[in-house]
Structure 1
Amino acid sequence: MGIGQRVAAWLAPERAVARAEEAKSWAPAGGTLFLAGGGAGEESWRERSYEALARGGFMRNPVVHRCVAMIAEAASSAPLLIYRGAEEVAGHPILALLRRPNPTEDGAGFLQTLCGHLLLSGNAFVQAVRPDGRDEALHLLRPDRVRVIAAADGWPEGYEYRAGRRVLRLPAEEPGGGRGPVLHVRLFHPLDDGTGLSPLVAAQGALDLHNAAARWNTALLENSARPSGALVFKPAEGGNLSPEQFDRLKAELEAGYSGAARAGRPMLLEGGLDWKAMALSPRDMDFMEAKNGAARDIALAFGVPPMLLGIPGDATYSNFQEANRAFHRQTVMPLMRRLAAALGGWLAERGGEPELRLAFDEDRLDGLAAERDALWTRVGAADFLGEDEKREAVGYGPRQAA
C-alpha cells in the first residue's frame, strides 16, 4: 500500500464542501460557473496525490516542511525587475501587479505559495482576472482542484477548477487569440505530457521510512521506552499461573511500568518469571542512522544540502557558508529563473508587450553576498577595464550622462 493509500485510510477521505470564500464566483475572469454532480471523472480526482503528499509530507514531516519553506522563502526574497532588451523599465504595471497580486496577498506570500504548490504537486496554476481589458489580479488555484482538458491533438484546450460541487471552466487561449487566463507551470514528468512530477514523489520511500521512525519512537516512549516482550513463567515443578495470579501480574505491569513517565523503571520479578524481548532494540535496528539516511534522501530530492537542515553524517561541504551558496546556486536560482520567465512571458504577452523580460535582482540574494563581494573586488581592481565595462561585468548598464 502506497503513502497515498495509507494517508487516505488514516484520514477517511470524505472531502468536505469547500468554504464559501473558496467557492467565490470567478465570472470576471471569463469562465463559466455551474454546479456539477458526480460523474465519470470522479475516479481521476480520487487518484490525485497532492492532498496525500501535503498531509503526509509538508504537514507531518519536519524535513519536508523545512525543505519546502527554505526554497519558497529564498525564491521570494529577491526583488523582481522588468527589462526591455538590456534596459531596465522602472515602475511598470506588471511589477505593481506582482507586488500586490490580489487584495488578500502580497508579492512575497504569493510567490511562496506558488513555490509550495510546485514543489508538493509538480504543478502550479495562476489565474489572471481581467475585468476591464487588463490584468488586475492574480489568483493561485490549488493544483488538486484543477484538471487539464486536452484537445484531440493532445494539447490543452482548457482548465477545470473544482471547489466542492462548483466548477469553473477557463479556456487555454483567449477568444481572439493570445495567452489565456491560466498559467500552468510544471516540473518535468517523464511519463505524463500534461502534468508535472513532484520531487516528493521520488522520495516517497524515504518519507515513509522517516514518518514510520517517528511513529515508532513515539510508540516506544508510550510503552515504557523499551521494546515489546513477554513475561515467561518457568516454575521449578511445572504448572501454570492461576487466573488470580495472572490478573494480579497484569494489573501490576500496567500500573507500575507503562507510560513514558515510568520509562526505565527496573522490573521486580518473582520466582519463575523471566523477561524475554520479542522485538529488535533501537541499536539492533540502527534506528538513528536509518532515520537520518531517510532525511538525507528527502533533502536530496528537494535539492537542499543536509548540512543546512542539521542532519548529521553529511560531509559534502566543508562549511555552512559553502553549503548555503550551493543551495542558492543549484536550487533557488534555477527555480527563480524558471518562474520569472514563465510569469514574465505570460503577463507580457497578455499585456501586448512580448518584448518585455522579467528577471530577479541577484545582487539582493543574501546567500550569494560573499560571491558578489569577491566579484566586485576583482572587477574594481581591473585597471584595464573602463567604468562602463566594469558596470557591464557586474550586471549593470552604462552610467547615464548627466
Structure 2
Amino acid sequence: MSVAGYTLSPRAAAAEARRNGTVNAASSTAVITGGDPVDMVEWFGGGQRAAGMVVTPETAMRSTAVWRCVTLISGALMTQELGVYRSTPKGDFIRVHGHPMDRFLNREPNAEMTGAVFVENSAVQMLLRGNGYGLIRQARNGTMTAVDFYFPWQVLPFRSLNRDIWYRFTNEDGSTEDHHASYVLHFKGPGLSPDGIRALSPISHHAQSIGISLATRDYEAGQFERGLMTNDYFQFKEAVSGDQRRDFKEYLRNKARGVANAHNPLLLEHGAEWKRVAVTAKDAQLLELLQYSVVDVCRIFGVPPNMAGEVANTSNFGTGVEQQSIGFDRWTVMPHKVRIAGEWTRKLFPVVGARTPEFFVWWDDDFLLSGDSKAIAAYLRAGLGGNQLPGWLSQNEARRKVNLPPKNGPGGDDVYSPSDSATAAAPPVDPALDAALADDKDTANAS
C-alpha cells in the first residue's frame, strides 16, 4: 500500500487500512520492530534497575542533581527567544520581525502552551529521554495551524519499505495516527540509537550513576525514618523464642520510628543490652558518596557542579559569574540550541531541490551573552560607534535591546560610520538611550 507516493511498511499499511474501515485494530496486527531493547522497554513504560533502584526518566527527576541539571539547561533555552532570520546574498543575517512563523516559535504553538513552555518541555524530554516531539498541524489549504506537543512515550518512529521515516502518534483517547517525517519536529539529543532514527537516552545509558544517586538519597532518608542506625544491635543473655523475637522487633519499630522518636528510651528485658558499632557517616564515606553522585550526574549533562549547587570545588570556567554563564552557554547550552533551531529550520523552511531557502530559525542570544549591566552598557556604546569607531548597531536596534520604543524621525535606523575627515562628527546621541545606559552603569557601580 502507498499513500501520497510513499510505500508503507506492513505496520503503517495496517494503520492506513484501519482508517479506511478495513481493519478494526491495527495495533494488534502491527509488528513493532524497534532497534534498542532499552528504548522499547521505556516506550512500554518500563525502566532499568540499577543500584537496587528502578531508573526511569520520572524516577531520575527525584534526584536533586538530575532535577537541577535538566531545569537549568531547559530554563536557559526557554529564556532565549527563537526568531526567523533572512540570509542575504552577501552573507548577512537579518532578523525578520513579524514573520508568520513567529506565532509558533514564540507566542502560541498550540492552544495549551506558549512558545517558551513548548521549548522548555521539548528540552526536558530531550535531556531525559534523548528525544522531543512536535506534530505540525495544517488546514486543508496547507496553512500551518498548530504544533502539538507529544511525550516520547506517545511516539513510535519507524521506516517504510522505501526507507522513509514515519511516526506513529498515540493520543490521549488511545487512537493512533501516522505522519510522515516532514510533518514532525523531532528534537534529538546526541548520538543515534541502533534504528538510526532516535537519539540515545541519557537516563538509560547512565542508569548506574543515576541509580547510585537515588539509592544514596534513599539510604540517607531511611536512617531518619527508622530512627535507629542500621549498625545498632541487641544482645540477650537469656534465650528467647521466635515469638519473642518478633514481638521485640515490632516493639522497636513502634518505639523508634521516625526522627521524633529517635531518642525515646527503650525498656529492655531478659538481660538485653543495646550495643552500637562505632561507624559514623564519615567512616562509611556517605558524605563523599553524596558529593560524588552529584558530580557524576553533572558530568552526564555537561553542567558545572557549582551551577548545580555543588560548591566544594572551583569552577573550570573561572571565578566570575559572567565567565561561568558564558562558558555554560557555549559548551553546554549551545549544542542544544543548534539542534533545536536546526530542526525548526529544516521543517518550516525545507530545502527544495538544490536551492537553499533564504529563511532560517535561530536564537536572539547576543544580548544575553554580553555580561552584566556594566558590560551591556559598554557593548551598546561600542555597537553605536563609541570612540569614533565604526558601529554595527542602529539606535533603534540598541533601544530594542533595552526595551525602549523606536526613535521617531530620521536617523533611527542608520548605523554610524566615521567620515574620512579629521573633523568627523560624533555619532548622534539619543537622550533616552543615553539615560538608560547611565542607569545601567550606576547600577553596576553600586553593586
Tell me if both proteins adopt one fold, taking TM over 0.5 as the criterion: yes
Conserved in 2, the CA contact under 8 Å of 1:32 and 1:170? no
1:90 equivalent to 2:93? Answer: no
1:188 equivalent to 2:190? Answer: yes
Conserved in 1, the CA contact under 8 Å of 2:74 and 2:120? yes
Q: Residue by residue, what CA displacement relative to the aligned partner does 1:93-112 show, whole Å, maximum 9, x if unpaired?
A: 01122221111211111111
User: Equivalents in 1 of 2:183, 2:206: separation in Å?
Assistant: 33
Matching residue within 414, 428, 434 for 1:399:
414
**Secondary structure of 1:159 counterpart:** strand
Conserved in 1, the CA contact under 8 Å of 2:384 and 2:415? no
Q: Residue by residue, what CA displacement relative to the aligned partner does 1:373-396 show, whole Å, maximum 9, x if unpaired?
A: 5655667787574235999xx9x9
Task: State the match for 1:361 in structure 2.
Answer: 364
Q: Count matched residues.
A: 356
User: Equivalents in 2 of 1:367, 1:390: separation in Å?
Assistant: 17
Q: Where do 5+ consecutive residues of structure 1 fail to align?
A: 1-29, 173-179
Task: State the match for 1:330 in structure 2.
Answer: 331
**Secondary structure of 2:85 counterpart:** strand
Q: Residue by residue, what CA displacement relative to the aligned partner does 1:47-105 show, whole Å, maximum 9, x if unpaired?
A: 342654222112x2222122111111110112223222123322110112222111121
User: Equivalents in 1 of 2:228, 2:323: separation in Å?
Assistant: 39
Amino acid in structure 2 at the alignment position of 1:337: V
Matching residue within 384, 390, 414 for 1:386:
390
Which structure has the larger Rg?
A: 2
User: Equivalents in 2 of 1:350, 1:32: separation in Å?
Assistant: 33
Counting only pairs closer than 5 Å after superposition, residues 224-373 of structure 1 correspond to structure 2 as 224-234=227-237, 239-241=238-240, 253-265=252-264, 272-277=271-276, 281-316=280-315, 317-349=318-350, 354-365=357-368, 368-369=371-372
Amino acid in structure 1 at the alignment position of 2:160: A
Counting only pairs closer than 5 Å after superposition, residues 54-203 of structure 1 correspond to structure 2 as 54-58=57-61, 60-85=62-87, 86-98=93-105, 99-131=107-139, 132-152=141-161, 155-163=163-171, 165-172=174-181, 180-189=182-191, 191-192=193-194, 193-203=196-206
Deviation at 1:217, TM superposition (A): 1.6
Deviation at 1:165, TM superposition (A): 3.9
Amino acid in structure 1 at the alignment position of 2:391: E
Conserved in 2, the CA contact under 8 Å of 1:72 and 1:116? yes
Q: 1:310 to 1:282 in 2, by over 3 A?
A: same
Conserved in 1, the CA contact under 8 Å of 2:326 and 2:369? no
Task: State the match for 1:10 in structure 2.
Answer: none
State the percentage of identical aligned residues.
Answer: 23
Q: 1:106 to 1:226 in 2, by over 3 A?
A: same
Task: Tell me the C-alpha RMSD between the 2 structures.
Answer: 3.8
User: Equivalents in 1 of 2:96, 2:186: separation in Å?
Assistant: 26
Q: Which has the higher contact order (CA 8 A, sep 6+)?
A: 1
User: Equivalents in 1 of 2:278, 2:81: separation in Å?
Assistant: 55
Conserved in 1, the CA contact under 8 Å of 2:122 and 2:187? no
**Secondary structure of 1:300 counterpart:** helix
